[in-house]
Homo-oligomer: A and B are copies of this chain.
């Protein structure tokens, strides 16, 4: 019970209790107003004179009053919390690639959430609902959900909005965002071919995630189309050593490629090291591109052309989509059938979370990538440029 309640009820002697947290009633009493006024003043609701408002705020400040999150949540049905779930988290160690991407993405997501008054909590995907039972989430962002992900399905079933980063294989989500991986790969291959490459190799992964799969497929399709024999090495992406070895193997082949695209962050340095071992000059003998969010590649010798997936943009978009779904605004305002429409309970609980679109095709969105062209992929003009978005169908 709050100190105020204890005093009001008159029960119990005047124990010098250890600093109990001040409650809204304490503030009301100290400010000489009612708790309603305190609530309104602090939340910017109601029509109060600025004077009252500021006085209440001041008293609250002085008393170190912190509203109880639990009480507010219970009352309003909204926690102001959204989850960020990393599927790979807590299982295998991150690959550096995964991590650099995740760090950027999470940072952007956090500030996007904050801007809209939400806090973002990072939750491990492990342990099905042990965790989820303790937190009241208004919605969740899922990074790269597995096919038929049971956790996602459960959340969705509970009527919680779920937005995924990465096109979901086979689980129900409210919306998803992904890069256009296929286009990105084609853009790179075209770029390399334009720079004079005749045999473009690929350093890819052995795992079956969407990114690896789509990218590799795009590469194979391109090879088929231009009549080049595929030249690739696949390795377990989570093992940095395997990456170095694979890079070496790729350049050791009798039909050695004259250009290579590496799908993972460390591939750039690995390929550079391997090229050095074989006495290959970059870019004269070998053109190099890799996918990375790291800017170390701006200062390698030579600087390496990289593909950025723009995780900041993804993080921001994902969070905004999620909050739109939670609040039933934006793209989710007009979608018929699965909001309050028809039940006519306009006076019901405030802004009840609209269940996601049952059985409908989720809102999907492809985000552009950015090719940062540096010396490693240019035979001629060694200027640093940023490519314009790729126009499809130019091959």
Contacts and interface: CB of A to CB of B under 8 A. Distances in A.
A19 interface: yes
Q: Which of A122, A126, A296 has the most CB of B within 10 A?
A: A122
Interface in A203-226: none
Q: For chain A, which range describes its interface: under 10, 10 to 19, 20 to 34, or 35 or more residues?
A: 35 or more
Copies in the complex: 2
Given A18-B355, A106-B124, 18 more contacts: A18-B159, A21-B158, A21-B159, A64-B157, A69-B135, A70-B73, A70-B74, A70-B79, A71-B74, A96-B96, A107-B124, A110-B124, A114-B127, A119-B135, A121-B123, A122-B122, A241-B296, A241-B300
A343 interface: yes
Contact of A121 (B103, B122, B130, B241): B122
Q: At the interface, is chain A mostly helix, strand, loop or mixed?
A: loop
Nearest to A340: B18
A130 B158 contact: no
A15 interface: yes
A151 interface: no
Contacts of A381: none
12 contacts: A17-B343, A19-B355, A21-B159, A70-B79, A79-B134, A99-B99, A114-B127, A114-B131, A119-B131, A121-B121, A240-B296, A241-B300
Contacts of A330: none
B68 A74 contact: yes
A367 interface: no
